[in-house]
Amino acid sequence: MATPTSTGRSTTGQDHLLVVDDEPTVRELLRTALCYAGFDVDAAATGQEALDLAVQCPPDLVLLDVMLPDMDGFEVIRRLRALPRSLPGRGGDVPVLFVTARETRQDRLDGLRLGADDYVTKPFDLEELIARINAVLRRTRGEAPARLVVGDLELVPEGHHVTRAGRTVRLSPTEFRLLHFLMANAGRTMSKGQILQSVWEYDFGGDPSIVDTYISYLRRKIDAEEPKLIHTVRGIGYVVREPRS
The residue range of the domain holding 230 is 148-240
pLDDT in tens, 39-53: 999 999 999 999 999
22 found inside a domain: yes
* 118 and 179 together in one domain: no
How many Å apart are CA 10 and CA 8, to the nearest integer? 6
231 found inside a domain: yes
* 121 and 154 together in one domain: no
- Can you give the pLDDT at residue 145? 54
pLDDT in tens, 74-103: 999 999 988 876 666 666 789 999 999 988
Q: Which parts of the chain register pLDDT below 70?
A: 1-13, 85-91, 142-146, 202-206, 245
11 found inside a domain: no
- Can you give the pLDDT at residue 155? 93
Whether the pTM exceeds 0.85: the reply is no
Exposure b/e, 98-113, CB count within 10 A at least 16 = b = bbbebeeeebbebbbe
Q: Number of structural domains, the chain?
A: 2
- Can you give the pLDDT at residue 136? 85
46 found inside a domain: yes
Residue 52 sits in a domain whose CATH number is 3.40.50.2300
Residue 231 sits in a domain whose CATH number is 1.10.10.10
* 58 and 79 together in one domain: yes
* 153 and 176 together in one domain: yes
* 156 and 135 together in one domain: no
- Can you give the pLDDT at residue 142? 60
